[in-house]
Amino acid sequence: MSAMPTQGTGTELALRRALHHIGLRFRVQDRSLPGRPDVVLTRARIAVFVDGCFWHKCPLHGTAPKNNGEWWLAKLNENVARDRRNDDKLLDLGWVPVHVWEHEDPVESAETIKTLWRERNDQPAGHRQSTGRR
């Protein structure tokens, strides 16, 4: 399991490209937030997690291993419980946790995040606020 990549997966990179393409700027792997979100939109206080179908028990694609099934079930259930605890902590801090499954279209996910970003910022994505300097 330690050989499994925790950041920079293909799905995560595709989502980051899609977010950047539509004008959203973000931080990656913010260690200061609970759960270390994969993508963080700081001004809107949105924390995005890209969840693997296996590791986070996707209802559509999650599978249970046949070997050592009892141990794996406990492990995967703990992953889901940890996700919920981290979501609760983020909500308490005023952040909105967003989970994107690895099988979801990154462009559609980026558009959903953009909509949430607009709701929380009340301005169009990609629009820069004036700093008062010219």
Domain edges within the chain: 9-120
Residue-wise pLDDT for 71-127, tens only, equals 999 999 999 999 999 999 999 999 999 999 999 999 999 999 999 999 998 755 555
Of 9-18, 34-43, 51-60, 124-133, which range is least confident? 124-133
**pLDDT at site 132:** 44
What is this structure's pTM? 0.84
Class of domain 9-120: alpha beta
Does residue 37 surpass a pLDDT of 50? yes
Residue-wise pLDDT for 14-32, tens only, equals 999 999 999 999 999 999 9
The torsion angles phi and psi of 82, rounded to 5 degrees, stand at -65, -40
